[in-house]
Structure 1
């Protein structure tokens, strides 16, 4: 399900400036459609993580970027491993 920018802002209780900053930092990469952007449920979860890192754990901007990069790498590795067939299964 795709979520409009306005709905995303309401659901996350974010302001436009914060969302724009997160997109400039490339912490969120919504799908661009004409003059708008669309978000997924995964984007909502990622935004909640960003919020928790900032507000609950006090992680600074640089730290958030590093954490998100590491999480993306782990996710990519899991996908790569899931695509491989084990010799015992082949």
Structure 2
């Protein structure tokens, strides 16, 4: 599901200044559209995760930066591994000649 900025603020229960700060920190990265910024379900989940880091873990801004960077790296590695697995399955399905 895709949200406009107004819908996202309502669903996330963020204040506009907080959202703008988090966008500046690149903790949340909306996509640009002709109608302005749009947000995804993943962005909403990320907001909830950041709130948990702040409220339940007690992470400060520097800690959140590190945690989100590591999380993004992990997701990138997972995508690369899945792509590698897919390519390996494709190669296995073609017999070697010669």
Larger radius of gyration: 2
Distance 1:73 1:34 in 2: 30
Alignment partner, residue 96 of structure 2: none
Alignment partner, residue 47 of structure 1: 47
TM-score by length of 1: 0.91
| Deviation readout 1:48-83 (Å, 9 max, x if unpaired) | 101111112110000001000000000000000001
Alignment partner, residue 75 of structure 1: 75
- Displacement, 1:35? 6.0
How many residue pairs end up in the alignment?
89
Task: For structure 2, list consecutive stretches of 5 or more residues without a partner in the other structure.
Answer: 93-98
| 2:26 corresponds to 1:15 | no
Alignment partner, residue 2 of structure 2: 2
RMSD after superposition: 1.6
TM-score by length of 2: 0.84
Flag the structure with higher helix content.
2
Q: For residue 37 of structure 1, give the secondary structure of its aligned residue in structure 2.
A: strand
Distance 1:3 1:44 in 2: 9
